[in-house]
Amino acid sequence: MGAMAMKCPCCREKLRNRTTKEEVPCFKNIWLECTNFECGATFAGHQVIVHQLRPSGLANPFMQVPMAPTVTGKLKPKIPQGTTKPALLDKPGLEQRP
């Protein structure tokens, strides 16, 4: 799997990580620079882990990242009152199958 890539918001060329500093296990400060010599823009930002999609096979009692709501089933599609299907399926031109 490749590294996470971002594009420069100014010229849309690739950004390169200049420096990263881990503050805590799920949070890093990052400094980025544009690879386009003519642009030369630099940026500061953050990388944050907010949810797990699959639990680790290695238990670490000191580090617990919450499971994503989509994985735990806490995130449900919004269904209008009195219907049995999500509103996104009500687009014109879509026919229901029996």
Integer Cα distance of 63 and 52 in angstroms: 12
Which tokens go with 59? 């238990």
- Calculate mean pLDDT across residues 60-77: 74
67 vs 33, higher pLDDT: 33
The dihedral over CA atoms of 18, 23, 27, 30, expressed in degrees to the nearest 10, equals: -10
4 vs 68, higher pLDDT: 68
pTM listed for this prediction: 0.58
What is the end-to-end Cα distance of the chain in Å, rounded? 42
CB neighbour class for 66 (10 Å; exposed up to 12, middle 13-18, buried from 19): exposed
Q: What does pLDDT average to over the chain?
A: 81
Q: How confident is the model at residue 84 (pLDDT cuts 50, 70, 90)?
A: low
Which tokens go with 76? 């449900």
Specify the 3-state DSSP secondary structure of 44. Answer: strand
Domain boundaries, the chain: 1-53+62-72
Which tokens go with 93? 């031109």
